[in-house]
A and B are shown apart, each in its own frame.
Chain A
Amino acid sequence: MSAQGDWEHRLGHFGRYGGRFVPEALIAALDQLDEAYRKASGDPAFTEEFGRLLREYANCPSPLYLAERLSARAGARILLKREDLNHTGAHKVRNVLGQALLTKRMGKPRIIAETGAGQHGVASATAAALFDLECVVYMGEEDTRRQALNVTRMELLGARVISVTTGSRTLKDAINEALRDWVTNVDTTHYLLGTAAGPHPFPTMVRQFVSGIGVEARQQCLAAIGGLPDAVCACVGGGSNAIGAFHAFIPDPGVRLFGFEAGGEGVETGRHAASITGGAVGVLHGARTYLLQDADGQTIESHSISAGLDYPAVGPEHALLNDQGRAAYEPVTDAEAMEAFGLLCRTEGIIPAIESSHAVAGALRIVPRLAEELGREPTIVICLSGRGDKDVDTAGRYFGMLS
Chain B
Amino acid sequence: MNPLAAVRTAVAFEKARAAGRAALVGYLPAGFPTVDGATTAIRTMIDAGADIVEVGFPYSDPVMDGPVIQRATEAALAGGIHLADLMRTVEAVSTAGAPVLVMTYWNPVERYGVARFARDLANAGGAGLITPDLIPDEADEWLAASDDHELDRVFLVAPSSGQQRMAMTAQACRGFVYAASVMGVTGARATVSDAAPVLVEQVRSLCDQPVAVGLGVTNGEQAAQVAAYADGVIVGSALVRCLLDAPDLSSGLTALGALSRDLAAGVAAR
Chain A positions near chain B (C-beta within 8 angstroms): 11, 19-25, 27-29, 166-167, 172-173, 176, 179-180, 183-184, 186-187, 280, 282-286, 293, 295-299
Contacts and interface: CB of A to CB of B under 8 A. Distances in A.
The 7 closest A-B pairs by CB, nearest first: A297-B111, A297-B108, A25-B158, A28-B160, A184-B184, A297-B107, A179-B63
Interface in B141-163: 155-162
Contact of A299 (B61, B132, B155): B61
A186 B183 contact: yes
B160 A27 contact: yes
A226 to B, nearest CB: 47
Q: Is the interface of A mostly helix, strand, loop or mixed?
A: mixed
A299 B55 CA distance: 20
B135 interface: yes
Interface in B92-128: 106-112
Given A28-B161, A167-B60, A295-B111, A283 B106 contact: yes
A298 B108 contact: yes
B60 A21 contact: no
B70 interface: yes
Contacts of B229: none
B269 interface: no
Given A20-B135, A24-B161, A27-B160, A183 B185 contact: yes
A24 B155 contact: yes
A176 B83 CA distance: 22
Given A184-B185, A282-B111, A24 B137 contact: no
A23 B108 contact: no
Contacts of B161: 24, 27-28
Contacts of A29: 160
A20 B165 CA distance: 14
B74 A293 contact: no
Contact of B107 (A20, A166, A180, A283): A283
B110 A180 contact: no
Contacts of A186: 160, 183
B59 A298 contact: yes
Nearest to A166: B70
A19 B62 contact: no
Nearest to A11: B137
B129 to A, nearest CB: 14
A173 B65 CA distance: 13
